[in-house]
Amino acid sequence: MCGRYAITTAPEAMRRLFGYPEQPNFPPRYNVAPTQPVPIVRVSQGKRQFALMRWGLIPAWVKDPRRFALLHLGRSESVNEKPAFRNAMKRRRCLVPADGFYEWTERGEPKRPFFVKQKSGEPIAFAGLWETWMGPNGEEVESVAIITTPANQMLSAIAERMPAILPPQAFELWLDCAGVDSETAAAFLLPAPEAPLEAHEVSTAVNRAANDGPELILPVAASEVVAQPPASPAKRSRKPKPDDRQTSLF
């Protein structure tokens, strides 16, 4: 249920879509994994703001993050009740830009990865929650979790859950924590419509977080071709000439 995703849209196009004034310059990433820094969009002093945060939410009340379970995902059904998410749902909602996400089959072995994206190729936005953790020595960590919903009918054949994808017309209301309460905001956390989305199987190379390249999002057959070096021309075999010399080691 969305343990990896991709961000491939050019920074300027991403900036126009999400409406923040900052001009970050970040490379495409094809295998974003938990604990890595990820871009988010939030509201600060009444304006949208781009920020980088650790993917894996650390609530403010945690004493030692090293002993706290990784919270990179939160369930839409319980974000208003769970202590780890409740305050963030009220005051610190955000958007997590992406171009697609990976899901693994939950039935059978080995698990097969699929890449899910919009048919149009346009970016999407996950519903996210962020927090700031302050350590005893003054250290500060900003972190984020992505909210998930039950899978829609198309993806239910692959996995039970999917990230909560917000349509552009919901961005403003989701981000408006001052004007939109958490119960109202939770109404946006629904399985995404099936029609705009498509999914295809990809290479198991995505299983390794260190792998990061455009071949990871290609359909599995195409990615296998890309991964293999071109075959060299076949050479005709030649029969060895008879050698009347004595046997030699050289």
Residues recognised as catalytic: 2, 103
For the chain, give the secondary structure using H, E and C: CCCEEEECCCHHHHHHHHCCCCCCCCCCEEEECCCCEEEEEEEECCEEEEEEEEECECCCCCCCHHHCCCECEEECCCCCCCHHHHHHHHHCEEEEEECEEEEECCCCCCCCEEEEEECCCCCEEEEEEEEEEECCCCCEEEEEEEEEEECCCCHHHCCCEEECECCHHHHHHHHCCCCCCHHHHHCCCCCCCCCCEEEEECCHHHHCCCCCCHHHHCCHHHHHHHHCCCCCCCCCCCCCCCCCCCCCCC
Q: Amino acid letter at 225?
A: V
